[in-house]
C-alpha cells in the first residue's frame, strides 16, 4: 500500500480455470494469511444454476458479492488478513468487494482463453462446466490502473506466480 502498510485483504480474481483457488490458497500459506474461497459464499441456487450450464445473472451475483464484502469487512475489522478467491469479472463486482477501501487489493490472474480451456477440460468434480468459459471471457472487464491491480500471467508455475504477487505487493514476509 502507499502508506507502507500491508492490505488486510487480497481478492484473487479471474475467469473460471485461471487458478484462483490454487493461487489464493498457496499465496495465503506463503504470506501467513487466512484463505477463503469465494465459491463457498454462493447460495445453493447459484451453484445449481452453474452446474446446469446456465450463466449467472447480475441479480444472482449481488447477494454473493455482498456476502464476500461483508466477510472482508469483518476480517479487516478484527485486524485479521485474508486472501479471497473470487471471479470478480466486472468492475461493478469489484466495486462491491472493495467499496472504496484502500486496504483491499485486487490480484488479476491473466491468461488466454485457449490456456484456460485446456485447464478446464482436465478438471474433475467442479460445478463450472467448460462450456461456460466463453461467457466468462465475454463478461470479463480486466481491472484498470485506478483499481491498483496486481496483474500476473498464469502461464508459469504456481510458485513463480506466487513470488511475482508477493514481490509486486512488497508484502512483509511472515
State residue 173 phi and psi, 5-degree precision.
-90, 145
Tens-place pLDDT, residues 64-109? 999 999 999 999 999 999 999 999 999 999 999 999 999 999 999 9
Tens-place pLDDT, residues 123-166? 665 545 556 778 889 889 999 999 999 999 999 999 999 999 99
Three-class SS string for 36-55?
EEHHHHCCHHHHHHHHCCCC
Confidence of residue 121 (pLDDT cuts 50, 70, 90): confident
Terminal C-alpha separation, the chain: 17
Q: 87: which residues sit within 8 A by CB, 6+ positions away?
A: 13, 14, 15, 16, 20, 38, 93, 136
pLDDT at 2: 37
Amino acid at each position: 500500500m502507499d502508506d507502507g502498510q500491508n492490505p488486510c485483504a487480497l481478492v484473487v480474481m479471474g475467469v473460471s480455470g485461471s487458478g484462483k483457488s490454487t493461487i489464493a490458497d498457496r499465496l495465503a500459506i506463503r504470506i501467513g494469511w487466512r484463505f477463503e474461497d469465494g465459491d463457498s459464499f454462493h447460495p445453493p441456487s447459484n451453484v445449481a444454476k452453474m452446474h446446469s450450464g446456465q450463466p449467472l445473472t447480475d441479480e444472482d451475483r449481488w447477494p454473493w458479492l455482498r456476502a464476500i464484502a461483508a466477510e472482508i469487512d469483518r476480517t479487516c475489522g478484527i485486524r485479521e488478513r485474508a486472501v479471497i478467491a473470487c471471479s470478480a469479472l466486472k468492475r461493478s463486482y469489484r466495486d462491491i468487494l472493495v467499496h472504496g477501501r484502500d486496504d483491499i487489493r485486487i490480484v488479476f490472474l491473466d491468461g488466454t482463453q485457449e490456456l484456460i480451456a485446456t485447464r478446464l477440460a482436465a478438471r474433475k468434480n467442479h460445478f463450472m462446466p467448460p462450456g461456460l468459459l466463453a461467457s466468462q471471457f465475454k463478461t470479463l472487464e480486466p481491472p484498470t490502473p485506478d483499481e491498483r491491480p496486481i496483474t500476473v500471467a498464469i502461464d508459469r508455475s504456481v510458485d513463480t506466480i506466487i513470488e511475482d504477487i508477493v514481490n509486486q505487493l512488497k508484502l512483509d514476509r511472515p
